Amino acid sequence: MPKRVLIPYRHAKKVAAYADAVRVGGAEPVTASVENKLSLDGFAGLLLMGGSDVNPTRFGETARPETDQPDDERDEAELRLIHEAVERELPVFGICRGLQILNVYHGGTLVQHLEANARHDPEKEDHSVSAHEVAFVLESKLAQIAASATWQVNSRHHQAVKKLGAKLHISARDLEDGTVEGIERRDHRFLVAVQWHPEDQTKRHPEQLRLFERFAAAL
């Protein structure tokens, strides 16, 4: 029987692609609103999905005009779940905002707005279409999963890692401008995060399903 993965969300309409990818990858997705009191009791792993910006006060900065209105309830719920997962050594897979809040949890900071934003948030109607290429860091867990030096990935984010959090390693960068596109913890069974949205690309680029398969295998 597939092991259960918790996917916390703010907007239920955005969950389907993540849940489908987790299911096809070999785990059982369970979605739950951050309005509830969430716990990882009974779950084998945690998937952190995309969404609004992390409140910059959580990394010691004042919000810029381009930064979303804070969602402190979501930030608090996800940070609490990350702490629980880290303490229990449960696998964690972060996507887009998921990468960013993992970095903040570990004491890192974020670029609040990428000036070359057209490259990273091109507003394509088809979310499966690639936007740019990422290069994987040799011998990283992400490179092992990719089994390739580079991937073509989609992109829809305006923030990125600035200062890397403690115990984290960079595992992928934008091939052209160096923006951090993947991070991981090497002292944890599976704590991997990517800045792009592989849940939208598994049909057009089936190699990206390996991210969900390896996540499920680590549960």
pLDDT tens digits for range 111-122: 999 986 667 877
SS (H, E, C) 15-69: CHHHHHHHHHHCCEEEEEECCCCCCCCCCCEEEECCCCCCCHHHHCCCCCCCCCC
Q: Which residues touch 183 (CB under 8 Å, ≥6 apart)?
A: 99, 102, 103, 161, 164, 165, 168, 169, 170, 171, 192, 193
Which of 78, 181, 184, 199 is catalytic? The answer is 199
Residue located via tokens 């703010």: 10
Determine the structural domain holding residue 116 and report its residue range: 4-218
Burial (CB count <10 Å: 0-12, 13-18, 19+), residue 116: exposed
* pLDDT tens column, 152-198: 999 999 999 999 999 999 999 999 999 999 999 999 999 999 999 99
How far is residue 96's CA from residue 78's CA, in Å, rounded to a whole number?
A: 14
Active site residue 96: yes
Active site residue 132: no
* CATH number where 61 lies: 3.40.50.880
Number of folded domains that form the chain: 1
How many helices (H) and strands (E) the chain has is answered by: 6, 11
Active site residue 197: yes
Which of 96, 157, 181, 184 is catalytic? The answer is 96
Average pLDDT over residues 16-36: 98
What percent of the chain lies above the pLDDT cut of 70?
A: 99
How far is residue 126's CA from residue 80's CA, in Å, rounded to a whole number?
A: 33
Structure tokens at 159: 């923030």
